[in-house]
Structure 1
């Protein structure tokens, strides 16, 4: 039967090891997720039709519909704003088109509704802050979240947003959706290495605790 001292030593060793191992495994899942996103962004352009729009997430797409005259503004930092316009698809669904970046002096750009074909990339991971409500002030939202914008305006928008690659207005510079930074391999190696180092250090410092006392060893 293990002594209380040995049990306590095992617990002290195992708890940090399990935490470090879990952190490394979590980074492994994050690595696969990021690699999947990057792979989708490198795939050929596809025309987005009906069905589940989420299936085209992070794909280069071509979308056709009626671009409305409504302008929505999302704060992008340093007196700049993303300007978004709802597009009515043939399915009867509205989706937000991120036309690009403008500065404060260029706000209130008016564009008449028109049927248009847009090249862009579909982004379906809107930022959500559960602690602070994404409430518009002076028609400007703090961050991009299609769901909260829908509730605020009383109009149902698809949660995905098309980042237009085309220049849709002379006063608007298209905002490129860049590939996500992927450092999860380094993070994973770091956590797994720390877990291994922890085991080695604990073994060196506590190996005497696990030594078998010859006096209590019974030979058969």
Structure 2
């Protein structure tokens, strides 16, 4: 039973209402609630320029990820170099086809130097434990070690008479002339341990080696062997090879420039910042 106007008794209760219909059923004691309309969803309109700007954070994130991969690769390469240079010393094999397997590994040789065919690589900084250093040494005293040369000397093997190339080590520029270090020009037979090195490609910003010159800007074993009349075997003498007034051995660089962490932080920070700015501009 329903009532629109007036005073009616519904289940012992008086219902006062002049505008709405109420149910008089005693089992229903509810108040009518207005219908709630769903809030319309916001439609984002991103134009071509907005999508173009999204390239900035996306590219920065991609570059950051690439730097992570580069960092892992370089750390793996450095670990391999250290493992090779620290491996067990073996006898030198003169088979050039198998020499590549010995790259960066130590080998032992016995023979004597042919100083009259001495050559140089440089200018170079002194390496200490495989890294560049400006520290003084017993050889250099207070000399600036950022400028010098590597002395490359033909070495005749005692067992086969084959002649190879040996990087004896570093000397300051003022001592490049062998007359300034005559005591270090040993003539007797010597035993030494050397690190096997292979042909070096010309670095991007390096000058070209001058044809016929005994000064080289990079390790061009092919040209060096032609000039000195040797085989294409090249060793870096280790720092165990010490001769008074002689070059400082141990000039094999086993450190690699690794600044990838700073690049990672830079690119990821840029990606986060520009990504937030894009969100605030077009989506917020």
1:159–1:32 distance in 2 versus 1, CA, 3 Å:
farther
The answer to whether the 8 Å contact 1:28/1:188 transfers is: no
Shift of 1:62: 0.7
Show CA shifts across 1:100-128 (max 9, x none).
Answer: 3441453496766x875432222336473
1:182–1:98 distance in 2 versus 1, CA, 3 Å:
closer
Name the structure 2 match of 1:72.
119
1:161–1:193 distance in 2 versus 1, CA, 3 Å:
same
RMSD: 3.8
Name the structure 2 match of 1:34.
78
Q: Tell me the TM-score normalised to structure 2 length.
A: 0.56
Mapped partners of 2:52, 2:64: distance in 1: 19
Match of 1:158 among 232, 254, 261: 232
1:5–1:80 distance in 2 versus 1, CA, 3 Å:
closer
Match of 2:209 among 118, 134, 144: 134
Q: Tell me the TM-score normalised to structure 1 length.
A: 0.69
Show CA shifts across 1:42-101 (max 9, x none).
Answer: 222222224422222222221245644532233445774432222356788653112234
Name the structure 1 match of 2:155.
87
Name the structure 2 match of 1:218.
none
Name the structure 1 match of 2:168.
99
Q: Which has the larger radius of gyration?
A: 2
5+ unaligned residues in a row in structure 2: which ranges?
A: 1-44, 125-143
SS in structure 2 of the partner of residue 73 of structure 1: strand
Match of 2:193 among 119, 129, 147: 119
Number of aligned pairs? 207
Name the structure 2 match of 1:11.
55
Match of 2:104 among 52, 58, 80: 58
Mapped partners of 2:101, 2:71: distance in 1: 24
The answer to whether the 8 Å contact 2:104/2:197 transfers is: yes
Residue 175 in 1 paired to residue 249 in 2? yes
The answer to whether the 8 Å contact 1:62/1:118 transfers is: yes
Name the structure 2 match of 1:146.
221
> Which structure shows the higher helix fraction?
1
5+ unaligned residues in a row in structure 1: which ranges?
A: 213-220
